[in-house]
Amino acid sequence: GHLSLAKRCWEDPSLGRLFARGLLPKRERSLAFRIRKLLFRHPGKRLLHIGGWMHMIDAPHTLFWFLKDLGPRRLLLDPGGRSP
């Protein structure tokens, strides 16, 4: 059920904003800062962050929102091993 909910939240901005309300903006900003710091220390390298789908909702004050200027790519992984 979480995979289909994640897809719906990623596709529907209003639903995504509703779910993103449960996140802590200070924590999201801190995670974004740590990721930017890693990228700054390793220029030209690529970074893979594996985390919860709610942090990748395209809504204000989410991790994805704080890193949007970097052009991050989001992927939903199916826990059953099937391709999304």
10-52: pLDDT as tens digits: 999 999 999 999 899 999 999 999 999 999 999 999 999 999 9
* Helices vs strands, H then E, count in the chain: 4, 0
Cβ-based neighbours of 51, under 8 Å, separated by 6 or more: 31, 63
> What's the predicted TM-score (pTM) here?
0.87
Question: How many alpha carbons lie under 13 Å from residue 38 in its C-beta half-sphere?
Answer: 12
pLDDT of the residue at 2: 84
Q: Please, are residues 22 and 54 in contact by the beta-carbon 8 Å criterion?
A: yes
Neighbours of 42 (CB within 10 A): 10
